[in-house]
Structure 1
């Protein structure tokens, strides 16, 4: 009996990513087709065989596959049990269209660092509310893909830029609750997305999204100890929803928001037994 396919797809609130597609197929074979976006593929189980520009290629688990837009390709399983894959469809603005020819010539990228970064990006995209983190991770992935296509993996890293790092920190401090996209920050500071991420990380030892999350958790702590209800703190501190708030709060503080709130004086006063006046 053939196993039923498992498919999950969504469009994240992250500029540059048209679609996220996760699937497990036992016996599905893709016919020749094209996409109007870049296809960034990783295989987690099994192996995929495909033809691209009349040349056969394989996509085993350790590699990253980048298929260019508007170039026909197909695909089917190599192993009897099928394959499990994760795909990001990146719009054409993410990678220079002049690099399509290079991607046709070598769609298979043997790069453990890139494979890990793509995996991390998928993990981040699974959680609504972590858009700044996803934008930062996408910027680094996009830079690495371009470096592969341009044969520039050995290029020196960008120099430190403490001024731009401090200016980004000030921007984040001013948008703790409402948040700020990486594109907006880059436009305001007149620099590139990837340079922002690298400059900030080099200067402060953490990525911009980690800094913003920390500021939001600090605000949430103050609100909880001030007596605000846990159910109201998530939105007041800038988190997407209660689940998003609880997950990040526990990761940073080491305990749940509810347990943390019960340590504060406001909670102790409200829960103290009342005594009758003499």
Structure 2
């Protein structure tokens, strides 16, 4: 690791996340402090040691740490080369009431699925253009964190719900260019966001954000074949800008939009 501290922090547009922090600290040690948010922490390099409510804990790359709001903690590197971490700070009401004590008792989880979901969400938040995907991923992360706090390590059984899945698909199809948030879709379908994501994924074999992106690529193809230029097609099909369209178009079809329409 380089010997210079590196830090990037921002507030994303994603509701429920008050801050995202990516940092490398070669020698910094946090003094005892508190946050008014849930702190979801993963370590990418090194090992972190911290005291939470006067009890010592350690966090390696295989774990996820969840620090509760308003509980004192500190932080320091175990190894001389320092540590690299990524953090999500969630609004205090996102995980429900009465769970702070459980987090104080057991703030670390060895859960590869949860860690991978957090890693994926960080990637989406760095990109900053996939709002629906970010909402979907955050919903599943929060659900799994709540399960851990209630001592339910694995996901509970999820029943198939073709009706909910079909209604969500109709809502997504009706909002291809304009877009819709997961909370808005939840109100229209009358189902909890987490149940929406799971029911849709079970029924159609893909999460709803991936379906939405695929349908937008289909719409872009129609506009391109009708002679519209790629810069115009991006907005018409619901993409953030032309580079956003290009990335998803290449991923789906292996070529750029401009090559797609060549004779």
Matches of 1:156 and 1:87 in 2, distance apart?
A: 26
Matched, 1:92 2:99: no
Aligned ranges 1:198-217 → 2 under 5 Å: 198-217=198-217
Partner of 2:242: 242
For the 8 Å contact 2:231–2:241, the answer to whether it is kept is: no
Contact 1:147 1:153 (8 Å CA) reproduced: yes
1:229 & 1:158 partners in 2: Cα distance?
44
- Alignment of structure 1 residues 98-137 onto 2, 5 Å: 98-137=98-137
CA displacement 1:176-211 (0-9 Å, x = unmatched): 011110011111222111000000001111111011
Conserved? CA contact 2:47–2:58, under 8 Å: yes
Deviates more, 1:92-101 or 1:102-111: 92-101
Distance in 2 (CA, whole Å) between partners of 1:93 and 1:261 is 49
Counterpart CA distance in 2 for 1:189 and 1:175 is 14
| Structure 1 runs (4+) greater than 3 angstroms displaced | none
Q: What secondary structure does 1:8 align onto?
A: strand
Q: CA deviation at 1:128?
A: 2.1
Q: Superposed, which structure 2 residues align to 1:172-187 within 5 Å?
A: 172-187=172-187
Q: Say whether the 8 Å CA contact 2:64–2:109 is kept in structure 1.
A: yes
2:138 equivalent to 1:138:
yes
Gap runs ≥5 in structure 2: none
Partner in structure 2 of residue 268 of structure 1 = none
Map of 1:146-161 to 2, 5 A cutoff?
Answer: 146-154=146-154, 156-161=156-161
Computed over aligned residues only, the root mean square deviation of the Cα atoms, in angstroms, reads: 1.2
Equivalent residue for 2:231? 231
More displaced stretch, 203-212 vs 236-245:
236-245
- The separation in 2 between residues aligned to 1:28 and 1:258, in whole angstroms, is 49
Identify unmatched segments of 5+ residues in structure 1.
264-278
Q: Deviations over 1:133-176 (max 9, x none)?
A: 11111111111111111012346322111001000000001000
Partner-residue secondary structure (3-state), 2:22: strand
CA contact (8 A) 2:161 2:199 kept: yes
| 1:261 Cα deviation from its structure 2 partner | 2.3
CA distance in 2 between partners of 1:133 and 1:125 (Å): 10
Number of aligned residue pairs: give it: 262
Deviation at 1:59, TM superposition (A): 0.9
Describe the superposition over 1:52-99 as per-residue Cα deviations: whole angstroms up to 9, x where unpaired.
Answer: 000011111100000000111110111111000000001112101310
Per mean C-alpha deviation after superposition, the further-off stretch among 159-168 and 237-246 is 237-246
Question: What does residue 15 of structure 1 align with?
Answer: 15
> Within 1, Cα distance between the matches of 2:84 and 2:231?
38
Distance 1:239 1:82 in 2: 40
Match of 2:27 in 1: 27
Q: Distance in 2 between matches of 1:157 and 1:250?
A: 36
When normalised by structure 1's length, the TM-score is 0.91
Verify: 1:3 aligned to 2:3, yes or no: yes
